[in-house]
Amino acid sequence: MSIHHAVTVRIIAVLGLCIGYLFSSNNLLAQDFQIENPENLGLSSIRLEQVDNLIKGAIEKQTIAGAVALVARHGQIAFMESYGMANIAEEKPMREDNLFRIASMTKPITSLAIMMLYEEGHFFLTDPVSLFIPEFENPHILSEEAGFSKSTTEITIQQLLTHTSGISYKFISNTDRRARLSQIYSDAGISDGLSETDGTIADLSNKLGELPLLFEPGSEFAYGLSIDVLGHLVEVVSGMSLADFFDSRIFKPLGMTDTHFYLPSHKLERLAALYSPGEGGIIREVTEPVEEGYASFSPTYQYNEQQSYYSGGAGLVSTTYDYLQLLQMFLNGGELNGIRLLSPKTVEMMTRNNIGSLNVEPGIKFGLGFAIVENASMTGDSKSPGTYYWGGIFNTRFFIDPNEELIGIFMSQRIPRDPERLRDRFVNTVYQAIVE
**Does position 20 have pLDDT exceeding 50, yes or no?**
no
Would you say 205 and 167 are in contact if contact means Cβ atoms under 8 Å apart? no
Average pLDDT over residues 246-262: 98
Mean pLDDT of 323-330: 98
Which pLDDT score is estimated for 110? Answer: 98
Q: Is the CA virtual torsion 137, 200, 12, 332 positive or negative?
A: positive
**Contact at 8 Å (CB) between 82 and 93?**
yes
Bridge partners (DSSP) listed for residue 340: 335
CB contact at 8 A, 310 and 106 = no
Q: What are phi and psi of 238, to 5 degrees?
A: -85, -25
List pLDDT tens digits, range 35-57: 999 999 999 999 999 999 999 99
H-assigned helices in 61-143: 107-119
* Positions of E strands within 181-246: none
Q: Where, residue-wise, is CATH 3.40.710.10 in the chain?
A: 3-28+109-239, 38-105+245-431
Q: DSSP assignment of 47-75, as one string?
A: HHHHHHHHHHHHHHTTS-SEEEEEEEETT
CB 366 within 8 A of CB 372: yes
Per-residue pLDDT band at 4 (split at 50, 70, 90): very low
Residue 166 has pLDDT above 80, yes or no: yes
The whole-number pLDDT of residue 183 equals 96
User: Is pLDDT of 364 > 50?
Assistant: yes
Distance CA 383, CA 7 (A): 46
pLDDT for res 6: 40
What's the pLDDT at 26? 35
The CATH number of 38-105+245-431 is 3.40.710.10
H or E segment and range at residue 410: strand 406-411
**202: number of Cβ within 10 Å:** 19
Phi and psi based region of residue 233 (left: phi greater than 0; alpha: psi -120 to 50; beta: remaining): alpha
C-beta of residue 182 within 8 angstroms of C-beta of residue 168: yes
As a whole number of angstroms, the distance between CA 181 and CA 173 comes to 8
Nearest in space to 410 (alpha carbons), one of 272, 311, 251 = 272
Helix pair angle (107-119, 320-331), 10° resolution: 40
Q: DSSP strand E in 195-287: where?
A: 275-277, 283-285
pLDDT of residue 30: 63
Cis-peptide, bond into residue 416, ω within 30° of zero: yes
Q: Which residue has the higher pLDDT, 32 or 69?
A: 69
Terminal-to-terminal C-alpha distance of the chain: 55
pLDDT score for 307: 85
- Count of other CB atoms within 10 angstroms of residue 24: 19
Taking CA 64 as the corner, what is the angle to CA 60 and CA 68, rounded to the nearest 5 degrees? 100
| pLDDT at residue number 381 | 87
pLDDT by residue (tens digit) across 261-293? 999 999 999 999 999 998 888 999 999 999 999
Supply the mean pLDDT for the chain. Answer: 92
State the fold for domain 3-28+109-239: Beta-lactamase (3.40.710)
Widest distance between CA atoms in the chain: 65
Q: Among 105-114, 124-133, 190-199, where is mean pLDDT lowest?
A: 190-199
**Per-residue model confidence (pLDDT) at position 419:** 78
Three-state DSSP at 247 gives: helix
pLDDT above 60 for 28: no
Spatial CB neighbours of 363, under 8 Å, sequence gap ≥ 6:
373, 374, 375, 376, 377, 378, 379
More reliable by pLDDT, 317 or 16: 317
> Which range, of 23-27, 341-345, 349-353, 413-417, averages the lowest pLDDT?
23-27
Cα 314 from Cα 224, distance rounded (Å) = 11
Q: % helix / strand / coil in the chain, to the nearest 5?
A: 35, 20, 45
Percent of the chain at pLDDT exceeding 90 = 85
Parallel/antiparallel/unpaired status of strands 335-336 and 396-401: unpaired
For range 168-190, the mean pLDDT: 95
